[in-house]
Amino acid sequence: MPNVRRPIAALTAALAMTVTGGAVMNPASAGSLEIEKKATATGYGGAVSTVDPEASAAAIEVLREGGNAADAAVAAAATLGVTEPYSAGIGGGGYFVFYDAETGDVSTIDGRETAPAAMPNDAFIDPVTKEPYPFTPELVTSGVSVGVPGTPATWERALERWGTLDLGEALEPAIDVASRGFLVDETFRQQTLENKVRFEAFTSTSSLFLPGGDAPAVGSVFRNPDIAETYGLLANEGTDGFYSGPLAEEIVAAVQNPPKTATTTLPIPAGHMTTADLAAYAALDQDPTHVEYRGLDVYGMAPSSSGGTTVGEALNILETFGPSEMRKPNRSDPGALHPYLEASALAFADRGKYVGDPAFVDVPTEELTDPVFGKERACLIDPLKAATKPVPAGDVSSYDGACPASPAALADEKDTENISTTNLTVADKWGNVVEYTLTIEQTGGSGIVVPGRGFILNNELTDFSTVYSETDPNRIQPGKRPRSSMSPTIILKDGEPFLALGSPGGSTIITTVLQTILNRVDLGMNISEAIAAPRASQRNTAKISAEQEFIDAYAAVLEPLGHVFTKAGDSFTSLPEIGAATAIEFRPDGRMVAAAEPVRRGGGSAMVVKERR
């Protein structure tokens, strides 16, 4: 891989444009913009999988022009900030995992948002009623829900550590897409309509995403010259142009005094962010979590994310089950699904008790990912009966792998993490790999577009527990990063990349990644089949959230064991889906198999640089 950073390239003509506002062009203008969408692509020289063909095309363009996986990942992420603005963008944060082919090391960047320094412990309590704000739409649609964004700092740090492009060059494809526009699909229109009441609450948001009072039509071309101009600012000034100066002041103004419309009935509590909070933000270099599973080395994201510890612990639990127990399920045999659901519940119990921001909480990461601890937790799985949920957390201070007596159960943990977020997977011809999950939290984030800047601010602070408790590792504290479930994962086999994968989906991210690994490694599916298979998500709750196809196929054999199912879906969207994974598998013959969702979220986009050598 070349290590010499390229000089700053001239920005595209789009940067020189005078851009003043969003625009939607009619379908007659859209024909030349359509990009073929494929869920699986196999080939050589580099690969990418995202939820969006424009983002995948941006990454492939960078790879073909000699950029590496880090360069291409930033280009794809920036493009998703244009085409998937309700799931990702510079108003949010995320976690970046990188495999360095030259050193064989896996490293990560924690780009999670932080709570403002003035954030009070009772920030989510209505001062009038003295009760917590209703989660939706009141709390999520607010300035108080906005954390200090980490995405711009993540991009810059990733390029500094591993890239060959500067930030301006990596932003060029996204600037082009924002300027010329992209085709509106059914998912974009539906997500806009589902957020219509929230978007109508803000003058800046409604003018950009509800032109004429309605969501953009399917097949029309949506342009966002405001975000093109904002990206141009970052290209010229770096992240200093975001974390200080006029843009920082405008972000703070939108948080402290949200641009409400005169007609909204939503309370829209104001936030506490200051320009000092933005100036103090830093993306953190961090070691990954690591467990071994079936001879594979599985690397994930350490706290402040709970993804690496929870996926890792569940895998350690499942490692204790042999091939006869991890058999392929069918309509008369639950096979591996019963251990999978039980292991997930046990790992989620420990997630709830122990995991938070390690800068504020003593998180026992080493213990949670210890195979001996996993072996002891596996003792609680009855092969013929599901445990009563919620199951209790384990004791990380005392374990030896032997089966202990069962302690009393804990109360259910309320799950308020939303289904949104986006994920991308990139590999280059040198063998470098990126798994990157980024988000603005809820579909539509806080609903607040920074006026004239073209991006939505996150509502990530709602990932904190609503009610403050000294014993809760995820309690609100100033400067703290809320616990996340994002689980970007890279798996090595004999020291070489075998599989990289991740997903959006709030707390179901963990189970989506875990189930996809189970499908691929234990059940013999290829990676495309592993992603497409129906999903169920057990997060230590009395009822298991599951897609209808899963319920139809397996409920009859799992319910007699005591598993109880409810159809997937939440109060934010009408989609009865769990996750929207992306992955790349690396074949022994040098081929890369990029795989995306064939159906969920309208289907993803997988591409390779070359289909043949």
Which residues are known catalytic residues?
A: 421
Looking at residue 138, what DSSP letter applies? I
**Coil vs helix vs strand at 423:** strand
**Cα–Cα distance between 210 and 215 in angstroms, integer?**
5
Q: Please check whether residue 516 is in contact with residue 501, taking contact to mean a CB–CB distance below 8 angstroms.
A: yes
> 613: which residues sit within 8 A by CB, 6+ positions away?
44, 590
**Cα–Cα distance between 302 and 307 in angstroms, integer?**
7
**Cα–Cα distance between 10 and 175 in angstroms, integer?**
13
**Cα–Cα distance between 564 and 536 in angstroms, integer?**
11
Residue 117 Cα distances to 272, 273, 276, angstroms: 8, 8, 9
Nearest to 318 by CA among 383, 363, 365: 383
Locate 185 and state its tokens: 């699909």
**Cα–Cα distance between 52 and 55 in angstroms, integer?**
5
DSSP secondary structure, 47-64, as one string:
EEEES-HHHHHHHHHHHH
Beta bridge partners of 585: 499, 593
CA 512 to chain centre: 11
Q: Which amino acid is at 190?
A: Q
Please give the backbone phi and psi of residue 84, each rounded to the nearest 5 degrees, phi first: -125, 55
* H helices present in 420-571, as ranges: 508-517, 527-532, 548-558
Q: Please check whether residue 304 is in contact with residue 357, taking contact to mean a CB–CB distance below 8 angstroms.
A: yes
**Coil vs helix vs strand at 583:** strand
Q: Please check whether residue 333 is in contact with residue 375, taking contact to mean a CB–CB distance below 8 angstroms.
A: no
**Cα–Cα distance between 518 and 525 in angstroms, integer?**
9
Residue at token pair 């994930």: 300
**Cα–Cα distance between 265 and 535 in angstroms, integer?**
37
Residue 143 Cα distances to 259, 275, 459, 511, 596, angstroms: 10, 14, 8, 30, 34
Give the number of residues written for the chain. 613
Please give the backbone phi and psi of residue 119, each rounded to the nearest 5 degrees, phi first: -65, 120
**Coil vs helix vs strand at 102:** coil
Q: Which amino acid is at 546?
A: A
Q: Please check whether residue 502 is in contact with residue 422, taking contact to mean a CB–CB distance below 8 angstroms.
A: no
